[in-house]
Structure 1
Amino acid sequence: MPVYLGQKAPDFTVNTTQGPLTFSDLKGQWVLLFSHPADFTPVCTTEFMAFAEKYDEFQKLGVKLIGLSVDSIYSHIQWLRDIKEKFGVEIPFPVIADIDKEVARAYNLIDEKAGTTVRGVFIIDPNQIVRWMIYYPAEIGRNINEILRVVKALKFNWERKLATPANWEPGQKGVASAPSTFQDSLKNEKEPGARTWYLRLVD
């Protein structure tokens, strides 16, 4: 069954490069689950190094990174060792060895024809609700800065109960909820930051 935005994320217990992990044990924190097509592939290698480069920033935001593919734990270990040896980059987050494809299928991250995971990202909130999901074609590497921007926007919404406008960056104004009655619309257009009766920017 497909995973949808706003629904509870499927639970799982798996083996990772940092030992066993049960997703439900992570309740109360933000989680970024991302899948890659295969170990020892060029685009995926650049992505893992890019995630590692921004790892401290994700940590400061309280976000746990978890990688995933259907490769074995031994393949993952050797690949991470290779990245450290060849590029001097240590991968600090766990990588799931989903050889039975159970997690990939639960999150709709499997290319059944190729038998590999697709390039996907899920951001899951502390209540374990899926708040963001995106898929990339195999030939396009992810923009980690954009993923960080989305995390910050989701946390802004979580903490301030405000939406964010197009191209929002941290420190910019949020968007108040649109009025739901005629009387509220008259009131809303007179509030500070109102651009019109249905659009009001809030610090």
Structure 2
Amino acid sequence: MPGLTIGDTVADLELETTQGKIRIHDYVGDGYCIVFSHPADFTPVCTTELGMMAKYAPEFEKRGVKLLGLSCDDVESHKEWIKDVEAYTPGSLVTYPIAADPKREVIKQLNMVDPDEEDASGNQLPSRALHVVGPDKKVKLSMLYPASTGRNMDEVLRVVDSLQKAAKHKVATPVNWKPGDPVVISPSVSNEEAKQMFPQGFETTDLPSKKEYLRFTQA
């Protein structure tokens, strides 16, 4: 499935992981799942990332979100490396599975290949890619970072909150939104519908165009 992107269904692949064999669709279940790749085990940025993901795991669990790591290293490498990851982030255990993809088949299916990064043998490495997969097994959001840039777990948590709020209400989250901030009402919702859907009220921003499309509310 080259080019996997938002709206695409994730292939129901069988994966070898640090917690045994899993199928992606079974693992996602009825909730959300963050599938995230890293270039290689025993590397500095990846160690900080997976340690921080372990630290944030309880927050994701509160939101019904599972975690699934992935790289092209084998399972035994992952298991040894986890000791370093946990040592770097004391008190945070890696409770999520990390999948092994030594043949590079999974990273190609999930569109997680970094064209600029290779190992010592000239094999392609995964990018710092991240897909948020919904209960319908479709990609809801994707992030793609180069090997040199570690991901921000506060931002990953924020986008999960945004996605789940948008799925529950007919709203979207504006720039720099954080949980507790006002949201905007979808343009597909008329003012009359908005009055029914948001009895707490909403505020329409007065714009030069006089078009009433920028409406804020709490949800």
So what's the TM-score if we normalise by structure 2?
Answer: 0.84
Q: Is the 8 A contact 1:179 1:185 kept in 2?
A: no
- Deviation at residue 51 of structure 1 after TM alignment: 0.6
Q: Is the 8 A contact 2:37 2:70 kept in 1?
A: yes
CA distance in 2 between partners of 1:97 and 1:71 (Å): 6
Count of equivalent residues: 198
Range with greater deviation from structure 2 (88-97 or 50-59): 88-97
CA distance in 2 between partners of 1:148 and 1:186 (Å): 33
Paired letter, 1:56: P
Paired letter, 1:192: F
Residue 8 of structure 2 corresponds to which residue in structure 1? 7
Paired letter, 1:6: G
1:96 aligns with 2:96: no
- Deviation at residue 6 of structure 1 after TM alignment: 1.3
Is the alpha carbon distance of 1:156 and 1:86 closer, same or farther for their aligned partners in structure 2, counting shifts above 3 Å? closer
Moved over 4 A (4+): 184-188
Is the alpha carbon distance of 1:12 and 1:193 closer, same or farther for their aligned partners in structure 2, counting shifts above 3 Å? same
CA distance in 2 between partners of 1:141 and 1:98 (Å): 21
CA RMSD in angstroms, aligned pairs only: 2.1
Is the alpha carbon distance of 1:57 and 1:86 closer, same or farther for their aligned partners in structure 2, counting shifts above 3 Å? closer
Residue 81 of structure 1 corresponds to which residue in structure 2? 83
- Deviation at residue 187 of structure 1 after TM alignment: 9.6
Paired letter, 1:62: G
Q: Is the 8 A contact 1:173 1:201 kept in 2?
A: yes
Residue 209 of structure 2 corresponds to which residue in structure 1? none
1:192 aligns with 2:193: no
Q: Is the 8 A contact 1:35 1:69 kept in 2?
A: yes
Q: Is the 8 A contact 1:6 1:130 kept in 2?
A: yes
- State the identity as a percent: 36
Q: Deviation per CA, 1:70-115, whole angstroms, max 9, x where unpaired?
A: 0011110110123335654421110000112121001111235612
1:110 aligns with 2:113: yes
- Mind listing any 5+ residue stretches in structure 1 that lack a counterpart? none
Residue 198 of structure 2 corresponds to which residue in structure 1? none
- Mind listing any 5+ residue stretches in structure 2 that lack a counterpart? 119-123, 195-200, 207-211
Residue 179 of structure 2 corresponds to which residue in structure 1? 170
Q: Deviation per CA, 1:102-133, whole angstroms, max 9, x where unpaired?
A: 21001111235612111111101111111110
Range with greater deviation from structure 2 (76-85 or 29-38): 76-85
Residue 38 of structure 1 corresponds to which residue in structure 2? 40
Helix, strand or coil at the partner of 1:54? helix
Paired letter, 2:57: Y
